[in-house]
Amino acid sequence: MNQSQPHQPEKEDQEKDNPALSKVIERNIRTIIHLRTKAAHERSLQGRIADAITSFSGRMIFAYVHVVWFALWILLNTGRFGVRPFDPFPYGLLTMVVSLEAIFLSTFVLISQNRLGEETERRADLDLHIGLLTEHELTRVLQMLDAIQEKLNIVDHANSELADLEMETKPEDVLAEIHRLQANELSKR
């Protein structure tokens, strides 16, 4: 018996409810997964190393390893376990090692953050582009609906609002208005 058979009626029910939506959602999810996988494969070796180190250092196991390491260092350095003290008080060697580790870890974290920032910027650009495209398409749809309404002699009393919505929104105009309003708000303070 095929294991996928019990799930088929459920999938068929979903497709009957909204066949276009399920296929669109599935396509979009596959596209997102593909883009993320592609971006992961395009990272340089150095980027992958930095991400791996950052990922490991951001886990609790990293803290546990350090607790054990520091405890062993301090205990062994007391001289009570047959090991001659190797790091005189106040643990200058340990301090230097930990400082160097902190320098490298912070560098790896910054490398990973820079990469994530670049990915975020690309996604924001894509979101902006899609938003502008959607705005343009909706404006055209409203204009077409207005033309149909006019052809059918349908009177709409909220026509001024529709006329405002039918105007094409330009991003530079929106940004200028945001800056103007922010400047007004700052001047009130």
pLDDT tens for 42-71 read: 888 988 999 999 999 999 999 999 999 999
The segment with the largest mean pLDDT, out of 27-31, 97-101, 141-145, 172-176, is 97-101
**pLDDT (0 to 100) of residue 1:** 44
Indicate the pTM of the whole model. Answer: 0.61
Query: What whole-number distance in Å separates Cα of residue 100 and Cα of residue 184?
Result: 49
Judged on CB neighbours under 10 Å (0-12, 13-18, 19+), 92 is exposed
The candidate with the shortest Cα–Cα distance to 104, out of 64, 63, 57, is: 57
Tokens of 149: 């309404």
Long-range contacts of 156-163 (CB under 8 A, 24+ apart): none
